[in-house]
Copies of this chain bind each other. A is one copy, B any other.
Amino acid sequence: MNKKFIFTNLLGSFILNSKYMVIDKGNDENKLTSRYKNLFKPEGNELKDILNYFKKKQFFNEFYNKNIQLTKKQVKDSVNEDNFIINTINNIEELNKVTNTLVRRLREWYGLYLPEFTKELTDNEKFVELIQRKSKKQLLSEINVKLGDSMGAEFSNADLKPIMNLATEITKLYNLKESHELYLDRIMTRICPNMIAITGGLIGAKLVEHARSIKHLSELPASIVQLLGAEKALFRHLKSGAKSPKYGVIFDHPLISKAKRSDKGKVARALADKIAIAIKVDYFKGKFVGDTLRKGLEKRFDDSKSKR
């Protein structure tokens, strides 16, 4: 009886006769199996011989192309929401830095024109908005300074224009940041509703960014979630015995901001616990428990919302 072998590799499935010649091939192993009776899976020396057969140069190009094709597909398929979240949150942070740089320049430049107002109003976004909307006189009257008393220089329109153009651009960058934040909220609500019920969009996204993916974040224990974003301080602690950090990006969470100083560590620990649970539920598509988790935390730590 002639032994027949079935062998599958990157190029497909092959039926070989006892002399290791290909007598049939196809993409579906099951189909081939049903067509032939008494097929053997090659073992030991048989396998070695068959593998050697496929080492022939004639297959080289086929392997190469198939490989490229598969890799491309994998690259293509590897793009997912993680990438969107990470790019968006990174861009939001970049936009923060960028607008700060530009506002610092705007303040210095506009300060030649209206130093009193520039010094008085410390809120950047409001500053940028007001100087576009109001006249020198109106702005001065807001801070109770008479026009004649100002130390600001007279500007021709031509000299004021580049400053105003800069202000316009900064406003647009603020708007861009805002629309990014809305977009981020939308993705996060879709793919990790439980986590953002607790963290909100920004902190949630920063956690994903530090963990590099939702999957990886869901695998982390609460103690690491608590310190994500505080890596530097943690390693300083481990190396030189400095104080251990109590929180990473969750530091900005309202429950922690509101807590008394001595309680912050405790709140951070409880918060990280719930986040770690929530993101696991999200990753494994469990039912929505985010609200319950959040309310539990609020009841414990937020007097303003507890109804004891």
Contact = CB atoms under 8 A, between A and B. Distances in A.
Interface of A: 72, 75-77, 79, 83-84, 87-88, 90-91, 94-95, 97-98, 101-102, 105, 108-109, 112, 115, 149-153, 158-159, 161-162, 165-166, 169, 172-173, 176, 179-180, 183, 186
A76 B292 CA distance: 61
B105 A90 contact: yes
A149 B109 contact: no
Contacts of A152: 76
Given A84-B159, A161-B183, A91 B105 contact: yes
A308 to B, nearest CB: 43
Contacts of A153: 76-77, 79
Contacts of A112: 79, 83, 87
Contacts of A159: 84
A166 to B, nearest CB: 7
A105 B87 contact: yes
Given A169-B172, A172-B172, 9 more contacts: A72-B151, A76-B151, A76-B153, A91-B109, A94-B102, A94-B105, A95-B102, A158-B186, A166-B176
18 contacts: A72-B151, A75-B115, A75-B151, A76-B152, A79-B153, A84-B159, A90-B105, A91-B102, A91-B105, A94-B101, A94-B102, A94-B105, A97-B101, A98-B101, A162-B180, A162-B183, A166-B176, A169-B172
The dominant DSSP class at the A interface is helix
Which 6 A-B pairs rank lowest in CB-CB distance, beginning with the nearest?
Answer: A79-B153, A87-B109, A75-B151, A79-B112, A72-B151, A98-B98
Contacts of A83: 112
Given A84-B159, A165-B176, A102 B98 contact: yes
Contact of A165 (B90, B166, B179): B179
Contacts of A91: 102, 105, 109, 162, 166
A108 B91 CA distance: 11
Contacts of A115: 75
Nearest to A180: B162
A112 B102 CA distance: 29
Contacts of A102: 91, 94-95, 98
